[in-house]
Amino acid sequence: MRTTTKSALRRFVYSSGINRLTRLMQANYPRIIMFHKISSPGDENNTSSCMTTDEFSLILNHIRKYYSAMKIRDLITSKKCHGVFPKNAVAITFDDGFKSFYDLAWPLLRAYDIPASIFVVPDLVEKNLWLWPDRFSHLYHKGFKTFDNKGELHLLEELKKKSTDEREEYLAKISKASALSTSQELPETYKLMSWDMLRELAGSNLIEIGSHTLTHPILANENSAISWNEIH
């Protein structure tokens, strides 16, 4: 029912011309669209309900028709040089550097000739580690939810309020409680891009790569020294 209602609302917005009017009114303000990972349609491992390649392709087609796609660096440079942003500018960004970008998003971006900016976590790439939210999600779905009556999102929000040390202690505790580990081979859905993949992307005029901190902590929960090290 909810999906049907959303589809009807989208059809109304397109047919009414509101979309076109909004683009005209907001033409001088760039859009920045943030993604994390995408999946193939029908992917049984897609536990996070992330966007599919079909949906991403529709977005890229819409951008190519109505907007001027730019990398973040070019968007900033244009503003510095000319004092204003280009009209109808849009920047696509991907946080975390998941391998699904290389496998699924990158071929579509090439096909549509649309640039993107990726923000990666260098220490996790170097050590082939998981992002901590994925470690938690894996543990939760593989057994820990039977030990705790709190919902996954509620527990995740609690973890975001902890320091790195506190969070690692908690993850170790639930790993022990559920007799599971996150030290084995990473499931495909959690894998990050390798240095070789990132070097290949960096060689393309369509892709720029930036830092998403060193280890992906919640910076607001860390002291100044740790935060500086993560950012610098």
pLDDT at 34: 94
Residue 216: closest CA among 52, 49, 91, 98: 98
* Model pLDDT, residue 130: 87
Q: What pLDDT, in 10s, does the model give residues 44-69?
A: 555 556 789 999 999 999 999 999 99
CA distance between the termini of the chain: 48
Provide the pLDDT for residue 94.
97
Taking the complete model, does pTM exceed 0.85, yes or no?
no
- Spans of the chain below 50 pLDDT: 1
